[in-house]
Each structure stands twice: as structure tokens, then as C-alpha cells.
Amino acid sequence: MISFIEKNYFKINLLFLSVISFYCMAGLIVPLQPISANKFVTLGMTLMGVLLGLYNFFIKKVYLNVRKIEYLILFFLMNILTAALVVKYGFSTNIKNLVVFFIYFFALYPAFQSFTVKKARALFDVFFSVITVANTIGVFVSIWQFFMLQGYRVLDYKGLLIRQGFVESRLFGILASPNYLSIISLMVIIYLWMRLSLYNTVLKTLAISSILLNFAYIVLSGSRTTYICLVVVAFLYALMTANWSKKTKSLLTVLVTVGLVFVGYNGIKYSSDIYLKAHSTQIQKNQENGQNGDNNLSLERTDTSEENISNNRFAIWQSTASFIPRRPLFGYSGGNWYELGKEYDASAYIIKQHYLTHNGYLELLFYDGITGFIPMAIFMLSFIISSLKKYKKDLQEGRHNHELITILLMTVVILISNLFLSSTFYGISLQGCILFVISGYYFSVLYKKRDGYRKLDEAEIKEVELDVMDYIHNLCQKENINYSLAYGTLLGAVRHKGYIPWDDDIDISLKRDEYDKLYQAILQDNDPVYKVVSWENDARYPYPFYRVYDARTVYDNNYIENDIDLGICVDVFPFDYYADVNKDMVKLDTYRRLSVYTLYGIHNKNAKLKNVFRYLLVLVFRLTRVKTWNQKMNTLSMQEKDGDFIDYLMENKRVSTKFDKSFLDTTIDSPFEDRVYKIPEAYQPILSAIYGDDFMEIPPLEKRVKHDDFLAYIKEG
């Protein structure tokens, strides 16, 4: 079964993204609501999402491989706890919400992780294409209703009387909510606009037509939230795509872009008002026939006034906020807030009117408390900050990544609209699906994408490492610095005259004073290609020792949580006077790992359930800085000022690897591949101390420990 699923895994994800996007759109287009309301359809879609999520969790182990998913897992666990705390008030709705979260976090968010860029992009495009087609058809029919001056009320699938067509100076059309659907229309515009250059003539014509229709619907919907989003998006788009080397021209472009949106918006609004007034007789006739009870001669909203500009939102927010201090940690839950809220204050405005929060941020705090709000806030901030850094880096390198700009603009729309709308997360929501699709696509595809870089094969990686080692060797010769190859590299030099066949890195060792001297020499040399990185010059750097690296290179790293780019390098280890500090050092090294490693980085396949405890500790120690632990480890390592033995102390020592302090003082030349580097003259006792007296014997296959495969790249040109 697993082999069958693996073989068809892409098709399964393609089908699921198509189904869930259409399912959500069907719930927003009134004539299609019977589809999404059908219990068998809902059950089928839910079952597909849950099964895919379970497969991703247990077989794909996405909790180890997908960046930032740990915060979503914590949010999920906090929701389980909140649901358990309020279970006496009911549980069915909270269970439904948990199922939705499971689909969001384990079926949608990791959907792109296992695929090539081409296949991941196909999934992304299918998801948004379904939304685009369905929404545009709904918008087209709705605009037709406006021109036909149709306005009426019908019962929806819940039996509630809802407005359709052009009613109360707003175009509802055949859509369930003009506020929500106009936001989706803006998403469609962003998606199509950013892809126009990729389309052929026919598709470009259809895309432009869709953009114009959706823009017109935004105006006719009367949604002030979407209008704010539209202006902000136009401003940011012009800002992000402008060539700021020509500041005056770019500033003018920004002003013109925003101006065109403003003129276009008000132009459609003005033209529509003229159209309505020109057909006042028809509107009056419709009234007399009972088709529409409103006198719709303009697009001026009749459901708000200057005295109530927020349309009761201020009162709703104030009432909701008054409940939060009473249950600050775990909230009231998404399913039982009304029943639980009545016990605290039955006279409160939101209780009496049974109003939703109409603010996604307040809603999150109200339903889930601080314990739910914080992990989701960290996730969102991590996503936003990382994508902005990626955009900044692209900009510095002279690139405009249209997919990244699309995601940033859609994120802005979600952030702004959540100030005024509810239910991005709770219940299956199209905005919720969009959020986790775009964030998942960013972390699984765009975050790893190396535009302007060429992928290196294993032989090329080793050649780059040797070039870095050449630089170190030459600088040490020039500055009279005593270094030697170390660990597996030293063993490779002695036993294989080069790399150990199943090893692919280079390590060197120096006494602490020589170690510091080399560090300063590299900084002062200021070579354009070869650089040094340490916890001292970059607080994000995760290791207690420093590295010398090729600044033109970068490699994908599944171990490190932060967004530091690490290049192909040589690891440089300081050897200090031996002290029995292993017990304290292990603690510090554990804290270091927990503060900066991913779940994959701290996962131990032999630890089983103990890994869960490690995962929870990771989320606590992320609040600390890795630099703090690296500094403490170095201070502890240097506490002995003299002694007979030296060792690299900043690791977990299961056995003693110390050796005589004089062993690194005298070095000899040794061939390494087609180069010659320095090794200790006393290499035999050093290797015996580290690997045992039989270090010259080739180990059996099961003991040949190879580093994890990684992808490395070098800048082109």
C-alpha cells in the first residue's frame, strides 16, 4: 500500500488541493452551497485530508522536515487542551475544528515538501487556478445581476434568509458574503497579475478579463476592508517592483500605480451610480413588483452611518476583549465560547447578539488564550520575517521573484482583512487554506530556491573544500601559524592519502592561542572569497568553533532553525588544556542544540518517546540565544591555564580523547588528495586516542558513518 501511495503521491496531493479549493469555493457561491453542505461530500473531503495528513505525519515525518511546523503542532496541542478544559459544554464543534487544524497543518502546509520545484509549482497553480475560475464565474454572474438590477432574498443551505443580487447598495450577487468574496477577488487579481508575463496570448486575454471583472466586483461589493487592502497592495507592489536606483522615476511609478487604482475604483463607482440613476424607473418597477425592497440609486452603503462607521465592530471588539482577562491562558474554545461566555456574563453584547468577533487576532486570543495565540503568532512572524529577508536578499542581488512577491502581497491581504473579519482558522475556511498553502509553498520551495546559483556535485564540493583548505594553509604559512589536519581528515590523510571514501568534510585543529591568531589573520586579510564565521561575528552562528568558508557558496541545512546561510567550509577546532568539564559541557551543548536546532536536528531515532520531550524543550529554548551557550562553552573550555594534556572539550566526551600538549607543536607535510597539508608528527598517539589503536584498519560497512546528504550551490558568474 505504501509503495502505491508513494508512486501516486503527487497525484494524490494534486487531487486533494483541487478538491479542497473547489469545496471551499462551493461554500461561498450560493447556488453551489448544496455541494459543500452535502454530508457525503464533506465526509469525503475531510477523510481525504485526514488520511493524507496521517500519511504525512507518520510516513513522511513532516514534523521533522518542514520548517516552522513545530509552532503549528504546539498550537494544535493547545487546542486539544482547551477543548478538554471546556468539554462539559460540548465537544463536537471543537473536534471539528481540531480536524480542520489537522488538515491545515499536516495535509496542506507540507504539501510541497517532497516535490521538485516544477511539481510543487504545479500544485500551487492548480490550487489557485480552481479558486480563480470558480470565483471569476461567480463574479461574472453577479455583475450580470447588477446590470439586470436583480436583487432578492433566498434561503441558504442552513435555512437562513440571505441577500442576493444588488441589495442595499451592495452587490452580493450569487456570492455568500461580499466582504469575504471581495477579499478572494483581490487574491485572484494578485495571482493573475503576477503571472501575466508567463501566459500566451489567449491565456493573457482571459487573465486580464478576469482581473477586470474581479476589480469591478470589489468596487460593487462595497467592502471597505477590501478597498483598504487594494490600496495597500497597489502601493506595496509598486514599491517592491520599482527600480530604486532611479529614485525619482520609481517614486513616480508608485504614485501613478496607487493613483490608477484610486481612479479606477472611483471611476467604476461613479459610472455605476450614473447607471443606477439612469435606470431609476426600472428600480421603482422592481420595488412595486416586490422584487427588491430597497431604493438602490447609488453605491453609498445604507447599512452604516457616520455615527456607526464600524458597523458595530467597535462594540463587538470591546465586548470580546472584556472576556479575555477572565480566561487568559486557554480561552473559551472555538466551539463552546457562547455557552461558556454566558456563565461569565450573559448580558455581554456578543452573548446577547451571538456575534462573531470580526477580528481574527482578537478571535484567536478569545478562543485559545495566550497559550494558543503565542505559537501561532511566532509562526506568522517567522513566516513574514523570513519571506521579507528573502525578498531583501533577492533585491540586493538584482532579482524580482514574482512568486515571492505574490505570497507577500497575499499575506498582507490576510493580515489586514483579519483586522475586520473572523474565521480564518476556525471551520474549513478558504483564507485559512490560502494561508497555509502560501506559507507551506514558501518554506518548502521558495525558501530553499537558489536563484543565481549552480548546484554542485560531490566532486565539486570536495574541490571547493580543498580550495578553502589551500587558503588556510597558505595564510598559516605566511603568518607562521601552526595548524594540523584533525579527526577524520587526519585519519584520511594517514590511511587514504586524502578523504576517507565515505567522508566529505575537512577539519583542522590548533592550540587555543594559534586558533585565535588564525581567526584574527583571516579577518584582517579580508579576502573577497574566503571568510570566517563564528558566534562572535554572527549571533546566529550555531557552533562553538569557527569555520572558514567560501562566500560564493551555500548549502541547504536541515539541522539549523535560523536563517543563516552557511557556505562550504573547513571546520576549525580549538584545543585547550584538559579539564574534567564534560558533565557541565554536555549540559551547555544540549542547551545550545535546543536553542538553534530544528526538530530534525535534535531527533534521535533510538530515543522514541523521549523525542517528544526534546521537541517541547526546543520550543522553550528557542527563546534563548545560541550565542549565549556558545560563549559559555568557550569560557568553560578555557578555564585551565596550564596542564600536561590538551583536547577539544566542547562536545560530549563518551571516552577520553586527550593527548600530550606537545603533540600539536611539531607538524610534518602529508599528501592529501593532490595537495600537501600539515599533520602532527605525533599523529599515531593522537589517532589512537581518538579512534583506538586499530585506526589503520578499514571498518566494516555498518560502521562507515557517512554524513547526511546535502545540497550545495555556488554563485554563478
Condensed to tens digits (0 to 9), the pLDDT of residues 429-485 reads 999 999 999 999 999 999 988 888 999 999 999 999 999 999 999 999 999 999 999
Q: What is the pLDDT of residue 160?
A: 78
Of 394, 389, 435, residue with least CA distance to 412: 435
State the Cα–Cα distance between residues 271 and 282, nearest whole angstrom. 17
Check whether 702 has a pLDDT greater than 80. Answer: no
Question: Crossing angle of helices 39-58/9-28, nearest 10°?
Answer: 140
Of 124, 692, 15, residue with least CA distance to 442: 124
Check whether 195 has a pLDDT greater than 80. Answer: yes
Distance of CA 329 to the CA centre of its chain: 26
pLDDT band (50, 70, 90) for residue 700: confident
State the Cα–Cα distance between residues 6 and 109, nearest whole angstrom. 18
Determine which helix (DSSP H) or strand (DSSP E) holds 520, and give its type and residue range. helix 512-525
Counting residues of the chain whose pLDDT is more than 70, the rounded percentage is 96
| pLDDT averaged over every residue in the chain | 92
Question: What residue has cell string 463587538?
Answer: 316
State the Cα–Cα distance between residues 307 and 315, nearest whole angstrom. 12
Question: What residue has cell string 589512537?
Answer: 688
Whether 577 and 641 have beta carbons less than 8 Å apart is answered as: yes
Condensed to tens digits (0 to 9), the pLDDT of residues 111-142 reads 999 999 999 999 999 999 999 999 999 999 99
Distant-in-sequence, close-in-space partners of 111: CB < 8 Å, separation ≥ 6: 13, 16, 17, 123, 437, 440, 444
In this prediction, residues 164-188 reach a mean pLDDT of 93
Domain ranges across the chain: 2-446, 453-715
Instruction: Give backbone dihedrals phi and psi of 422, rounded to 5 degrees, phi first.
Output: -110, 170
Of 467, 503, 462, 510, residue with least CA distance to 485: 510
Of 596, 595, 613, 585, residue with least CA distance to 604: 613
In this prediction, residues 665-680 reach a mean pLDDT of 97
In this prediction, residues 489-501 reach a mean pLDDT of 96
Distance of CA 110 to the CA centre of its chain: 10
In this prediction, residues 478-500 reach a mean pLDDT of 97
Counting residues of the chain whose pLDDT is more than 90, the rounded percentage is 77
State the Cα–Cα distance between residues 284 and 286, nearest whole angstrom. 5
**Distances in whole angstroms, Cα of residue 644 to Cα of each of 436, 577, 578, 580, 637:** 58, 7, 8, 13, 15
pLDDT band (50, 70, 90) for residue 600: confident
State the Cα–Cα distance between residues 233 and 219, nearest whole angstrom. 15
State the Cα–Cα distance between residues 500 and 162, nearest whole angstrom. 73
Q: What is the pLDDT of residue 299?
A: 59
- Cα torsion angle, 442, 447, 448, 451, sign: positive
Q: Is 431 exposed, middle or buried (0-12, 13-18, 19+ CB in 10 A)?
A: buried
Asked which of 99-113, 315-329, 407-421, 597-611 is least confident by mean pLDDT, the reply is: 597-611
Check whether 664 has a pLDDT greater than 60. Answer: yes
Q: What is the pLDDT of residue 306?
A: 47
Check whether 90 has a pLDDT greater than 90. Answer: no
List, in sequence order, every residue forming a beta bridge with 533; answer none if it has no partner: 547
List, in sequence order, every residue forming a beta bridge with 171; answer none if it has no partner: 166
Residue 221 grid coordinates: 461589493
Of 427, 402, 377, residue with least CA distance to 42: 427
State the Cα–Cα distance between residues 88 and 136, nearest whole angstrom. 44
376-380, long-range: CB < 8 A, 24+ apart: 376/71, 376/72, 376/75, 376/425, 378/71, 379/68, 379/71, 379/72, 379/75, 379/439
State the Cα–Cα distance between residues 372 and 238, nearest whole angstrom. 36
Check whether 490 has a pLDDT greater than 90. Answer: yes
Query: Which tops the pLDDT comparison, 585 or 428?
Result: 585
Angle at 696 between CA 693 and CA 698, to 5 degrees: 120
State the Cα–Cα distance between residues 594 and 624, nearest whole angstrom. 9
Q: What is the pLDDT of residue 293?
A: 45
Whether 249 and 243 have beta carbons less than 8 Å apart is answered as: yes
pLDDT band (50, 70, 90) for residue 147: very high
Of 98, 103, 92, residue with least CA distance to 79: 98
Whether 509 and 575 have beta carbons less than 8 Å apart is answered as: yes
List, in sequence order, every residue forming a beta bridge with 670; answer none if it has no partner: 677
Question: What residue has cell string 504614485?
Answer: 255
State the Cα–Cα distance between residues 410 and 425, nearest whole angstrom. 16
Residue 571 grid coordinates: 571546520
Residue 640 grid coordinates: 585551565
Check whether 54 has a pLDDT greater than 90. Answer: yes
Of 440, 322, 442, 438, residue with least CA distance to 390: 442
Residue 365 grid coordinates: 486570543
Q: What is the pLDDT of residue 311?
A: 66
Check whether 77 has a pLDDT greater than 60. Answer: yes
Residue 578 grid coordinates: 584538559
SS3 content of the chain, % helix, strand, coil (to 5): 60, 10, 30
Whether 300 and 277 have beta carbons less than 8 Å apart is answered as: no
In this prediction, residues 166-173 reach a mean pLDDT of 89
Distant-in-sequence, close-in-space partners of 450: CB < 8 Å, separation ≥ 6: 554, 713
Whether 510 and 481 have beta carbons less than 8 Å apart is answered as: yes
Distant-in-sequence, close-in-space partners of 431: CB < 8 Å, separation ≥ 6: 180, 183, 184, 414, 417, 421, 423, 424
Condensed to tens digits (0 to 9), the pLDDT of residues 398-419 reads 888 999 999 999 999 999 999 9
Of 17, 59, 412, residue with least CA distance to 231: 412
Residue 6 grid coordinates: 508513494
Of 543, 515, 546, 509, residue with least CA distance to 689: 509
State the Cα–Cα distance between residues 337 and 353, nearest whole angstrom. 13
